[in-house]
Amino acid sequence: MPKENIYQNILNRIIKSNNILLVSHQNPDGDAISSLCAFAELLEQIKTKSIWVGKYSLYCQDKPAKYFDYLPNFEKIISDKKINFSDFDLMISLDCGDIKRTGLVEEINHKTDNQFIIDIDHHPLIEKFADITLKDKLAISTTQIIYRIFKNFHLTINKEAANAILTGIITDSGNFLYPATNKEALTTASKMLSYGADLPYIIKQTSKNKSISAMRAWGWIMANLNYNKTYEIIFSIITKKEFDSLGASWDDLEGIVNFLGNVIQEGKMTLLLRQENNEIIKGSLRSNKKEIDVSKLANVLMGGGHKYAAGFSINGKIEKTNNIYKII
């Protein structure tokens, strides 16, 4: 299906809907949150044209980091309670490479014939789950694709939308340091500045936002870095007990894996393993090598992501005995 038809089909489906659910992935990063906020801004603008009078909600299973609260519609994101999926006749999945990462697999598998799903994303397609799929794995971020939708719908990019679109580009490109950064990413970022996006403020909020407790956690992780020469992996592992002793929160670790992946020359990828709770271990993978695709490893471990940044969750518990870590 030609792209222009997809855009028109997306608009037609929005206009026909009464109640839309915007959803992104678990453990949301900057692009996930920005995509929710930018698309909500898009829906608000469609409303002003009086061609759609429906309602919408924003949902993410995990609570987004508070330092993204400058984004438009951030306060509308639901993460602290379950939603009634049957209330919605249209779900738009944003930045979710895999249906499992929505946290709504059971609800989606039991959707009715009157419910419709649109998938908008820049990750490789693992399994088709939507009625309409708009993907571009060459796009630096999902917000870059949302910018194209704004243009195709002939909507205005105001300062709020520009901030959200640029935030997704900034965070998913590692401040333009990742190899996936391309001409379109830089051109789109420049256009967002012309629309009023505040680049210094976005950088401050997404990069220069660390507390003393966060830096202690970062310091611990860097002090405990290891290098597996056989597989050329830089890695650090932290148990829940070790993390709790630092007085930090999991949000404090945001950005540490990106940082390590960008500054360490050795190795082909970086891995951080952490004990989320007594049952779940979470892993974050990063690489800045063009020949490495960390999403393939994440997919094997039932996770997801894209070529240079991916993550996964596995059942188990990290135990440390005589400085040796084991997963049981």
* Contact of 143 with 165, CB cutoff 8 Å: yes
* 229 shares a domain with 277: yes
Instruction: State how far the alpha carbon of 152 is from the alpha carbons of 4, 50, 53, 181, 285, in Å.
Output: 8, 17, 20, 23, 34
Same domain, 232 and 137: no
Residue 128 has pLDDT above 60, yes or no: yes
Q: What is the CATH number of the domain that holds 283?
A: 3.10.310.30
pLDDT-based confidence at 4, cuts 50/70/90?
Answer: low
**pLDDT: is 2 or 324 the higher one?**
324
What is the reported pLDDT for 140?
A: 94
CA 154 to chain centre: 26
- CATH number of the CATH domain containing 172: 3.90.1640.10
**Considering 154, 182, 206, which residue would you say is the last residue of a domain?**
206
For residue 115, give Cα distances in angstroms to 85, 127, 185, 194, 295: 10, 19, 34, 38, 30
Does 75 lie in the same domain as 10?
yes
Lookup: tokens for 222: 């860097």
Domain of 50 in residue numbering reads as 3-206
Give 54: exposed, middle or buried? Use CB within 10 Å, 0-12, 13-18, 19+.
middle
DSSP assignment string, 260-293: HHHH--SSSEEEEEEE-SSSEEEEEEE---TT--
Interacting residues of 195 by C-beta distance below 8 A, sequence separation 6+:
157, 158, 159, 161, 162
Q: Are residues 221 and 200 in the same domain?
A: no
pLDDT tens sequence across 8-18: 999 999 999 99
The answer on 295 and 177 residing in a single domain is: no
pLDDT in tens, 26-55: 889 999 999 999 999 999 999 998 899 999
Domain's final residue, options 206, 222, 252:
206
- Claim to verify: residue 195 and residue 226 sit in the same structural domain: no
Verify that 29 and 52 share a domain, yes or no: yes
12 and 155 assigned to the same domain: yes
Residue 265 sits in the same domain as residue 286: yes
Q: Within this chain, do residues 9 and 112 fall inside the same structural domain, yes or no?
A: yes
Q: Read off the pTM.
A: 0.84
Q: Which of 75, 130, 76 is nearest to 102 (CA)?
A: 130
> Does 312 lie in the same domain as 246?
yes
Per-residue pLDDT band for 111 (boundaries 50, 70, 90) equals very high
**Number of domains into which the chain is organized:** 2
Give residue-wise pLDDT tens across range 183-195.
999 999 999 999 9
Residues 163, 312, single domain; the answer is no
Choose the final residue of a domain: 206, 222, 249: 206
> Would you place residue 2 in the very low, low, confident or very high pLDDT band (cuts 50, 70, 90)?
low
pLDDT in tens, 161-171: 999 999 999 99
